[in-house]
Copies of this chain bind each other. A is one copy, B any other.
Amino acid sequence: MKHLGNRVEELKIAYIGGGSRGWAWGLMSDLAHCPDMSGTVALYDIDFEAAKNNEIIGNKYNEAEGCVGFWDYQAVETIEAALTGADFVVISILPGTFDEMESDVHWPEKYGIYQSVGDTTGPGGIIRAMRTLPMYEVIGKKIGECCPDAWVISYTNPMTLCVKTLYRVFPEIKAFGCCHEVFGTQKFLAKIVEEKLGIENVERGDIKVNPVSVNHYTWLTEANYKGIDLFPIYRDYCLSHPDGHKGGTVDNNWMNNHFASEELVKMQLFLQFNVIAAAGDRHLAEFCPGNWFLKDPERVKEMHFNLTPVFWRKEDLKNRLERAKRLASGAEQVVISETGEEGTRQMRAILGLGDLITNVNMPNVGQAPDLPFGAVVETNAVFRAGSVRPVAAGELPASIAPMVKRVCAVQELTSEGIAERDLKKIFSAFVNDPLVTCSYRDAEKMFKEMCENTKKYLGMYDLLVL
């Protein structure tokens, strides 16, 4: 790394995973868009060919229109080759395949349990954690060996438990987890400000929020626009929009799109608990007691959000694979456009090229004083030269404490159970998950079956004891 005061050259970024694309191309585009950093991106994926393909695509960005940040993409065959000498490590892996995810998401439906995402919490999130965390143990240890001083940005779900695992296996690591869900709520609040206050072009960045809790179940205890407290305005809006927010274009219409919603879940949560839930409704619903929003598909429809089926993901993957081919062959041109993700802005801030305040997931050192120290929590953090420090978010409002403390404790127990390969402990977490509304005995059966379904990736557990 060569720091020239107002720009940095010869950086090395190690990208772990990303063979399944979306994320990697976004980062490529953002890097190309950023004028004050350049260097090498080492691409490592267990599917080497996918990495190789990304190498070709990545290098095309250097010639795309508007490129101001130039990077040398290199697929490498070992994780050690990727990590050695890295200044930053980006981790974004798909643990297992969508076949495993199909079991994670849809198998519980046999027991009347519906999951709108199924990768973070609920039965699906816990089983996914069982196969992901052992992979993260390996990555964390390798970072400790190959590039202990690197900054590590983790995007993989379940976010909280992945970040926790990195710190567990290598406590000195400088890692944080990133997620854009809060941004979406900021944008929603920006629209409300525009509508309610008659102001044009309100920017997300001007909606100042104080997030606290755990990833995908984040809550804002403050929201302010230029000195204006947004809580009463948001309350008005919620009360006057009992049918939800109709702001989307056709593509975003929740009836056609598995990611869209009309924000009814978060509005109802606000009206009851007086704190702004700040993630997509699909995520929020999964952390609430199962009967609130995910009782059955009718209730989901009633709340104007969607269950994202895995067959859609499989389709989507096919499309992306084909697009990958087109991009690599030149049949389709790479295009530089900002993704709205903050990975590159975070890197810049850490390099001293501009302070940044944004939400991240890090071990609790006091930022959430009534959650366990050491648990990974989501709050704002200050990114500055050589430093990422959480902002002290203060205590949880009493109204949401039961929900958040419960979820956080389930996550801590899941983490401990997986660390110890102790299926009893993992099931103790599973059966206490808010979505596991079936009977105790059914929960046992379901857990066993879901492990069985994905056993290809669970070789480190003694499944016979189940």
Contact = CB atoms under 8 A, between A and B. Distances in A.
Contacts of A84: none
A366 B229 CA distance: 24
Contacts of A224: 352, 384-387
A201 to B, nearest CB: 10
A313 interface: no
Interface in A1-17: 1, 3, 5, 8
A268 B444 CA distance: 13
Nearest to A407: B402
A347 to B, nearest CB: 10
A291 B389 contact: no
B399 A409 contact: no
Interface in A405-422: 405-406, 409-410, 412-413, 416
A425 B398 contact: yes
Given A366-B367, A398-B409, 18 more contacts: A3-B226, A206-B385, A227-B352, A227-B386, A229-B386, A272-B431, A273-B428, A289-B432, A291-B437, A292-B439, A295-B439, A365-B394, A366-B394, A369-B369, A369-B373, A389-B391, A391-B392, A392-B392
A401 B391 contact: no
A225 interface: yes
Nearest to A393: B389
5 contacts: A1-B227, A226-B352, A228-B385, A357-B384, A398-B413
Contact of A405 (B274, B295, B405): B405
A398 B409 CA distance: 8
Given A402-B432, A439-B291, A274 B424 contact: yes
Nearest to A416: B398
Residue with the greatest number of chain B CB neighbours at <10 A, chosen from A3, A365, A391, A403:
A391
A382 B372 contact: no
Contact of A428 (B1, B5, B8, B399): B399
A462 to B, nearest CB: 17
Interface of A: 1, 3, 5, 8, 199, 206, 208, 210, 222, 224-229, 268, 272-274, 289, 291-293, 295, 299, 350-353, 355, 357, 365-370, 372-373, 380, 382, 384-387, 389-395, 398-403, 405-406, 409-410, 412-413, 416, 424-425, 427-429, 431-432, 436-440
Nearest to A200: B5
Residue with the greatest number of chain B CB neighbours at <10 A, chosen from A8, A372, A400, A406:
A406
Residue with the greatest number of chain B CB neighbours at <10 A, chosen from A228, A293, A387:
A387
Contacts of A293: 440
> How many copies of the polypeptide does the oligomer hold?
4
Given A206-B385, A289-B432, A424-B272, A402 B392 contact: no
Closest 7 CB pairs of A and B: A226-B352, A224-B386, A366-B366, A366-B369, A406-B406, A402-B409, A208-B384
Contacts of A373: 369
B380 A392 contact: no
Residue with the greatest number of chain B CB neighbours at <10 A, chosen from A293, A366, A384, A413:
A366
A391 B390 contact: yes
Given A350-B227, A437-B291, A402 B391 contact: no
Contact of A199 (B5, B228, B399): B5
A406 B404 CA distance: 9
Given A226-B351, A389-B392, A390-B391, A382 B357 contact: yes
Contact of A208 (B295, B352, B412): B352
Contacts of A427: 272
A351 B428 contact: no
A409 B412 contact: no
A428 B395 CA distance: 17
Contacts of A403: 432
Contacts of A416: 398
A228 B386 contact: yes
